[in-house]
Amino acid sequence: MKQVRWALAGALLFFGPMARAQGSDTPPTADLVWVALSAVLVLLMTPALAMFYGGMVRRINVLSTMMHSFIAMGVISIVWLALGYSLAFGAAGSGWIGDFSRTMGNGISTSEPAASGGSSALFMLFQMMFAIITPALISGAIAERMKFGSYVAFIALWSLVVYSPVACWVWNADGWLFKHGALDFAGGTVVHLASGVAALAAAIVLGKRRALIHREPIPPNNLTMTLVGAGLLWFGWIGFNAGSALAMNGVAINAFISTHMAAAAGMIGWLIVERIKTGKATALGAASGLVGGLVGITPGAGFVAPVGAVAVGLLTGAACYLAIGLKNKLGYDDSLDVVGVHGAGGLLGAVLTGVFASEAANPAVKDALAGGRMELVVKQVVAVGAVGVYSFLITMGLLLALKAMGGIRASAEQEDAGLDETMHGEAGYNLY
Amino acid sequence: MKQVRWALAGALLFFGPMARAQGSDTPPTADLVWVALSAVLVLLMTPALAMFYGGMVRRINVLSTMMHSFIAMGVISIVWLALGYSLAFGAAGSGWIGDFSRTMGNGISTSEPAASGGSSALFMLFQMMFAIITPALISGAIAERMKFGSYVAFIALWSLVVYSPVACWVWNADGWLFKHGALDFAGGTVVHLASGVAALAAAIVLGKRRALIHREPIPPNNLTMTLVGAGLLWFGWIGFNAGSALAMNGVAINAFISTHMAAAAGMIGWLIVERIKTGKATALGAASGLVGGLVGITPGAGFVAPVGAVAVGLLTGAACYLAIGLKNKLGYDDSLDVVGVHGAGGLLGAVLTGVFASEAANPAVKDALAGGRMELVVKQVVAVGAVGVYSFLITMGLLLALKAMGGIRASAEQEDAGLDETMHGEAGYNLY
Amino acid sequence: MKQVRWALAGALLFFGPMARAQGSDTPPTADLVWVALSAVLVLLMTPALAMFYGGMVRRINVLSTMMHSFIAMGVISIVWLALGYSLAFGAAGSGWIGDFSRTMGNGISTSEPAASGGSSALFMLFQMMFAIITPALISGAIAERMKFGSYVAFIALWSLVVYSPVACWVWNADGWLFKHGALDFAGGTVVHLASGVAALAAAIVLGKRRALIHREPIPPNNLTMTLVGAGLLWFGWIGFNAGSALAMNGVAINAFISTHMAAAAGMIGWLIVERIKTGKATALGAASGLVGGLVGITPGAGFVAPVGAVAVGLLTGAACYLAIGLKNKLGYDDSLDVVGVHGAGGLLGAVLTGVFASEAANPAVKDALAGGRMELVVKQVVAVGAVGVYSFLITMGLLLALKAMGGIRASAEQEDAGLDETMHGEAGYNLY
Amino acid sequence: MMKIEAMIRPQKLEAVLEAVHELQLTGMTVTEVRGMGRQRGITYTYRGSQYTTPLSHKVKIELVVNDEMVEDAVRAIQEAAGTGEVGDGKIFLVPVADAIRIRNGERGEPAIS
Amino acid sequence: MMKIEAMIRPQKLEAVLEAVHELQLTGMTVTEVRGMGRQRGITYTYRGSQYTTPLSHKVKIELVVNDEMVEDAVRAIQEAAGTGEVGDGKIFLVPVADAIRIRNGERGEPAIS
Amino acid sequence: MMKIEAMIRPQKLEAVLEAVHELQLTGMTVTEVRGMGRQRGITYTYRGSQYTTPLSHKVKIELVVNDEMVEDAVRAIQEAAGTGEVGDGKIFLVPVADAIRIRNGERGEPAIS
Ligand SMILES: Nc1ncnc2c1ncn2[C@@H]1O[C@H](COP(=O)(O)OP(=O)(O)O)[C@@H](O)[C@H]1O
Ligand SMILES: Nc1ncnc2c1ncn2[C@@H]1O[C@H](COP(=O)(O)OP(=O)(O)O)[C@@H](O)[C@H]1O
Ligand SMILES: Nc1ncnc2c1ncn2[C@@H]1O[C@H](COP(=O)(O)OP(=O)(O)O)[C@@H](O)[C@H]1O
């Protein structure tokens, strides 16, 4: 059963030197093109996230917020090549963390023709794009008030002590959650749940924005940018999910369709609830709902058939709308609703994957359902719980340590004048 | 002749279970990658359209206008999966409309490895992207004054009663226009002509914007966004046209080059006429002209050689410039010139396809020209006429019915204050 | 050795009718998909450049600056198809310039199925995208003060008298620099060095902007657009570099990874120096540094291993920061630092390619290093010198001639009021 | 000399410009502003929370005119900008002590004619 | 009649709107401005060069009120907008000769009440 | 006390800020405006139709100064902002009744020094 449950994990075998039987008559070049295409699509998601987030903050913090995403592309790429990939996908006898066998690009050959099956470099690269966007997602929770230097230190460390271990548990063939047997096609748990829960911890440690405390308005500076960012996220997410099949085949095509349908349905789900509750269907709601639907389908894209994906999208879109209301009740300041969208959406998506996984979408689901659907749902919940608790506690510890070492929050003056001006010495717009 | 005239229709055969002879030594995986890549490129065209259109309206309607495109992604995706695809590509003995055999994703298998030829799911998906953008194109004609709810109802219905039937006529192997024998490589008639003519009907039914009546200025809020949208449309259009070959082969490569050349020449064609007429070459002119060129080459991309495509682009770019002047003479308010660009461009492109189709570009053209070039041009005109008349009348009826059922136009107050504020409760920018 | 040194040049063989041995069991369809995908990615780079540059100028010149890129897409596409491609890649017995055998699309067949190896049309197209962006890069140096008509004439001529010859020298199998034996994987010399040096000549001939002379502030109008443009450049550059392998293989994958790593490291390199020098890490610095890193790795992407690429990126990012200071010392007005980024980055990248080229990345490097690393570095310097001197002198001559024929600079009035208003009759934004 | 300051609806600016032009007044300055008045404010919806601002978009125009032109100008603006609905705006008359034309240093009435 | 012109911190606008509302003053106009004062200016970094502007973001509010309301209004604004730090801004009192309500031509005090 | 209001060319703002600084005047407020005057307007081209607006981009500066500073300030602005070409702009002098520093409630001359 192991080899079918986790599509991504197959990659390790696929790209491994012995994956292709001799005499195979389907050379994998087209599959490599598909994965490379997917990697470049996922690469674009982080600039897209910069737009999505950047449009929602006040004008005085637009560059600061976009920098949170861009700097992740700079820093995490290097961290991942140097160490993170090895911790996630190196040999992990214990099931908890990889060894140092693949640090600094070691053991990741690109020089042999890929067609002969000798290269795992593309897998390392594809995974790098996931490693980049995950901490960038967290940045939405701390927008408009965190020191830039502290943020850089935080994401570099977080990537090593939270992301890499969790990726190891879930995607490494030796990982304990991999063996446990939950379904996570493209990172619902590793990417969205882990970042959503980390966002909660970060929002708590950072505290509320001064503008929120003083009830000053916090108008989004440019919702057109947020909409375009959401559109580009949709575009890139096809690579994220359908590329996670690591080959062009029926599962990849199913993942493409289901991803698309869930995004569409997520938009509709959010807008319906919003219209009922406020009387208006908003553009930001459309953008948020489609992202919610995409988050929801991420763990199930390769397991859930298109009609099921519509259900997943509708439910996640609606649920995310309701979940973002929590912050007002519970009193944390999750600036851009990372907890509500990625935390809640990631959690619900994992559970719904258990509910809607279907053999019609992916024959591998047969094995996953061997113990009954209820058992699968429970496994999903266990995976979510383990990752959630780990990410929350370590993030909390990490930020408290950084805080003790010199503070992680901008000064009141910096916050009032805006981080663009005070931390980066820039203004987003000089339009007039 | 039938199997060569319509590149798209080939898809039904191509993806059908018996398309690939046993022992075929060219597995289609690379072709699937090409179509999937093309689908994701076309997916991006609707956000690109949101930018292209969004930049041209007044600031007070920017989100409303962008929502017209985004909501199409939400609503039409579901309509298409549920019903539209079946009406277009289900069995259509009559030649007029498909049956219900492929509703709700039925009969569209993704679970078998695509390499064995068992899946038409990717074709359904690729077609979905066309179905999404077509009604979104119409929205340019009704920008700045239509009720959001009415718009949503309109595009959902239009997709079922205009788009699906027309797609059936033209692209379904049973379709009457398919059998008639005109050339439409990637949707000049189905997408551009149908939407351009519907736009005319919609502009007439909706009536003029109050600002136009009162001769208030209607300045485009952000032409940089329009330019970037045009750039992304160009990018996505490669998938639209070259992907319509449904395989990576000489026809696809020709379509790529011809599409690119027509966009370039469309820009130049527009700018030359504009410079002569007004003394200035404008940025909006460059953006509009390239879109005009792309519209013009859409029906012929796979049939016209690169040098012919330059001619098509130059002529369509120039013609679109002249066609947008019509609205002032005839008195309808086509806010963003959908009639002038997609209607006129689609019409001219269909005719020019007959004129410039060349065997050098596509051997299939030989059969199309069997009866002489004049006969082909006449066939093109018949196809355009049939689709045009149908789309105009049904759109008219649909909108008049919706109007009778409670009004489709924003109130005067809403229009004056802008739809963003009054319908969506938002403002596009808070930049200062 | 010839067939291994220049990855691009391989294309001529690859796509040539005899490239594929009969009985070959790896059909190139997947490779064609990869090249087509890369071409569409590079296509997007010019709109991305429009954003990158457009955001940095004053509001009154934003459209004018974006038009510099867009018009290159219109004009150069046609120039290249008509003549430029033939001059670059036609038969070039002399080693200096191609003949007229491939003008007007002659001899560039698309009609045969690419799978049978009969088409070089895709190569012509892929190369067209490079030909488009190169003169557009120069436009950064003359932003905010050049006449639009003169600019159009300039890039059309420059493409024919500078770009095509240089491309011939370096990439044509007959070219003298091709035979000389330097390494330029994806255009460090042809694209970046040639345009960076031309930018210097152009800045000198055009003279300083009035605003600079009068010490008026020149605030960037929209750094969010510049950031997004940089993100899209990163995305497109994968096609630029990894597509230059002209096949999906180990070299392409290495190029993808190295390109990505150099962009990341370029960002970090710039920000570190900037933080040390000014105390701030800026968003514009992140955008500029990543572009610098991409420029630096362009000649070496297929020859330098990922860890080497990190070094190339760090060094080029830092060096570009320092190089842009030159203009203040030397007194030319290079509006958007084309000399500092593309000139200096292209030069340094060429040298560093010699330093870091490694057999682990590409077995072909073995031959290049046959004479020792120092010899290779010297060859790199010679190539840079030849291209640099040629581009500088011809650009200078071209602009002086255009100047003599009626002036190339906007009037003082036009410059003060902005080129958008006075040359294009438009305003970028009407946001309030 | 008197400065006429009027807050009007943005969409009426065009008509006011024409009206002012017809009076042969050649100088005027226009500013984008937001105004609070009797007019209902705007309610913004942001991810479920709603926020109402009393401010709506207005345009402020300023013309400095000779005393004898004041009443004509006021009447012209009032006619061009009025719709009869709440939110039409206000005109204020602010005394001005002197005017200087930067170009040539002219002062007083000649500077504004 | 007096026009109260105040330049305040942007983030204090909300509080001032409320304060003004409590005084039952129904009219006010708001403009985005940049101000120079004792407050330190902003230093922008642009690719290595640095540029300092003395201007910081401010909001200007204008209310025309009856003479008897002036002191109350000034006090209310001062309380709502003040932080005690440099950069809080200024209030200026500018005499106004007359006011006209565009909607119905009312003049004088009725026009602003 | 007098408020000096000047509409100037945007590109002259920098020079005016310096000139004002040299006079030791520490306060000033700047607004982006559009102005109609003798200067030719702008013709916009939009897909074949053309539209001419009489408005061009200007910057408005406002300084409240003591009466004795008025002439110096006017001269300084005039010199810094002038080019001698049509469109240089105007300076208006508007009497001010009082000034209040929000930070500490100071009134009158101390508030603006
Ligand atoms: N007392 C005032 N001071 C300054 N501006 C005012 C005042 N009263 C009204 N305004 C301006 O006039 C605009 C229209 O006022 P409002 O009361 O809505 O309209 P009406 O005069 O038709 O009742 C407001 O938005 C504001 O900009
Ligand atoms: N003399 C003045 N004329 C016009 N505006 C002024 C004047 N003095 C101050 N301002 C405005 O008030 C704002 C705050 O002034 P500042 O001197 O920084 O604060 P404070 O009054 O607390 O010392 C300035 O940014 C400017 O907009
Ligand atoms: N009477 C006036 N009232 C208000 N603003 C004016 C007036 N006259 C001119 N202005 C402002 O001054 C600017 C320059 O005026 P203009 O007549 O073009 O220049 P010049 O004073 O050099 O003849 C105008 O754009 C406008 O903003």
Instruction: Give the number of other CB atoms < 10 A from CB of residue A404.
Output: 9
Residue C290 pLDDT > 50, yes or no? yes
pLDDT given for residue A21 in this prediction:
34
The answer for residues whose C-beta is within 8 angstroms of residue B44's C-beta and 6 or more apart is A231, A232, A235, B232, B235, B236
Instruction: Give the number of other CB atoms < 10 A from CB of residue A51.
Output: 26
Beta carbons of D35 and E30 less than 8 Å apart: yes
D96 touches chain E (CB under 8 A): no
Radius of gyration of chain C (CA): 21
For a pocket test of ligand 2, which of E12, E13, E31, E36 has the largest count of ligand atoms closer than 8 A to its C-beta?
A: E36
Of the CA atoms within 13 Å of residue F66, those in its CB half-sphere come to 13
Q: Into how many domains does chain F fold?
A: 1
Instruction: Give the number of other CB atoms < 10 A from CB of residue C289.
Output: 34
Structure tokens that stand for B271 in this block: 């700018």
pLDDT given for residue A347 in this prediction:
98
The answer for A 28-47 residues in CB contact with C (under 8 A) is 29-30, 32-33, 36-37, 39-40, 43-44, 46-47
pLDDT given for residue C308 in this prediction:
97
User: How do strand E2-8 and strand D90-95 relate by DSSP bridges?
Assistant: unpaired
pLDDT given for residue A304 in this prediction:
97
Return the C-alpha torsion angle C119, C122, C124, C127, nearest 10: -150
Of the CA atoms within 13 Å of residue E28, those in its CB half-sphere come to 27
pLDDT given for residue B432 in this prediction:
61
Of the candidates C15, C27, C130, C38, the residue with the CA atom closest to the CA atom of residue C76: C130
Provide the pLDDT confidence category of residue A197 given band limits of 50, 70 and 90: very high
Which chains lie within 8 Å of chain C at 3 or more CB pairs, if any? A, B, E, F
How far, in Å, is the centroid of ligand 2 from the Cα of D106? 29
Return the C-alpha torsion angle F51, F55, F58, F63, nearest 10: -150
Percent of chain F with pLDDT over 90: 89
pLDDT given for residue A11 in this prediction:
38
Instruction: Return the residue of A nearest to C303 by Cα.
Output: A111
Beta carbons of F51 and B277 less than 8 Å apart: no
pLDDT given for residue C109 in this prediction:
66
Contact list in D for residue A284 (CB cut-off 8 A) is: 46-47
Nearest to B217 among D14, D43, D57 (CB): D14
Give C21's DSSP letter: P
Span C268-275, mean pLDDT? 98
Provide the pLDDT confidence category of residue A109 given band limits of 50, 70 and 90: low
Between the two ends of chain A, the Cα-to-Cα distance in Å is 62
How far, in Å, is the centroid of ligand 2 from the Cα of C279? 29
Contact list in C for residue F48 (CB cut-off 8 A) is: none
Residue C18 pLDDT > 70, yes or no? no
Least confidently predicted of A12-26, A321-335, E62-76: A12-26
Beta carbons of F53 and B217 less than 8 Å apart: yes
E100 touches chain D (CB under 8 A): yes
Least confidently predicted of A290-299, C309-318, E18-27: E18-27
What domains are defined for chain C? 31-97+118-409 (1.10.3430.10)
D22 touches chain F (CB under 8 A): no
Task: Identify which ligand lies nearest to the alpha carbon of F63.
Answer: 2
Nearest to E94 among F17, F21, F94 (CB): F94
Nearest to D90 among E95, E97, E101 (CB): E101
Most F CBs within 10 Å: which of E9, E32, E36, E65, as the mutation test of the F interface?
Answer: E36
Give a three-class secondary structure readout of chain E.
Answer: CEEEEEEECHHHHHHHHHHHHHCCCCCEEEEEEEEECCCCCEEEEECCEEEEECCEEEEEEEEEECHHHHHHHHHHHHHHHCCCCCCCCEEEEEECCEEEECCCCCECHHHHC
Crossing angle of helices B148-158/B121-138, nearest 10°? 130
Residue C11 pLDDT > 90, yes or no? no
Q: Which atom of ligand 3 is nearest to the CA of F39?
A: 18
Instruction: Give the number of other CB atoms < 10 A from CB of residue C4.
Output: 15
pLDDT digits (tens, 9 = 90+) for C132-186: 999 999 999 999 999 999 999 999 999 999 999 999 999 998 999 999 888 999 9
Taking one residue from A and the other from E, the number of pairs with CB-CB distance under 8 angstroms is 22
Residue D100 pLDDT > 80, yes or no? yes
Regarding the beta carbon of F7 and ligand 3, being less than 6 Å apart is answered: yes
Provide the pLDDT confidence category of residue A110 given band limits of 50, 70 and 90: low
Percent of chain C with pLDDT over 90: 85
Nearest to D91 among E17, E29, E100 (CB): E100
CA distance C53 to C79: 24
Provide the pLDDT confidence category of residue E40 given band limits of 50, 70 and 90: confident
For a pocket test of ligand 2, which of F23, F28, F103 has the largest count of ligand atoms closer than 8 A to its C-beta?
A: F28
pLDDT digits (tens, 9 = 90+) for A355-407: 999 998 999 999 999 999 999 999 999 999 999 999 999 999 999 999 999 99
E4 touches chain F (CB under 8 A): no
Residue C283 pLDDT > 60, yes or no? yes
Contact list in B for residue A60 (CB cut-off 8 A) is: none
Provide the pLDDT confidence category of residue D106 given band limits of 50, 70 and 90: very high
Of the candidates A154, A148, A145, the residue with the CA atom closest to the CA atom of residue A58: A145
Interface of chain E against chain C, CB under 8 Å? 44-51, 53
Of the candidates E11, E8, E9, the residue with the CA atom closest to the CA atom of residue A218: E11
Contact list in C for residue A111 (CB cut-off 8 A) is: 250, 254, 359-363
Residue E95 pLDDT > 70, yes or no? yes
Residues of chain B with pLDDT under 70: 1-27, 109-119, 432
The helix or strand, by DSSP H or E, that contains position A330, with its residue range, turns out to be: helix A326-330
Residue A25 pLDDT > 50, yes or no? no
Residue C23 pLDDT > 80, yes or no? no
Q: Give the burial string for B77-116 (b: 16+ CB within 10 Å, else e).
A: bbbbbebbbbbbbbebeeeebbeeebbebeebbbbbbbbe
The CATH number linked to E49 is: 3.30.70.120
ipTM given for this complex: 0.95
pLDDT digits (tens, 9 = 90+) for F1-37: 999 999 999 999 999 999 999 999 989 999 999 999 9
Beta carbons of C111 and B254 less than 8 Å apart: yes
Crossing angle of helices C29-54/B223-242, nearest 10°? 170
pLDDT given for residue C7 in this prediction:
38
pTM reported for the whole predicted model: 0.96
pLDDT digits (tens, 9 = 90+) for F33-84: 999 998 888 999 999 899 999 999 999 999 999 999 999 999 999 999 999 9
pLDDT given for residue E15 in this prediction:
95
How far, in Å, is the centroid of ligand 1 from the Cα of D70? 20
Span F107-111, mean pLDDT? 94
Compute the nearest-CA separation of F68 from chain C (Å): 30
Structure tokens that stand for B355 in this block: 């004129």
pLDDT digits (tens, 9 = 90+) for A295-319: 999 999 999 999 999 999 999 999 9
- D40: domain range? 2-112
pLDDT given for residue C20 in this prediction:
34
Give B245's DSSP letter: G
Regarding the beta carbon of E87 and ligand 2, being less than 6 Å apart is answered: yes
Structure tokens that stand for C103 in this block: 């003008």
- The sign of the torsion formed by the CA atoms of D103, D106, D110, E2 equals positive
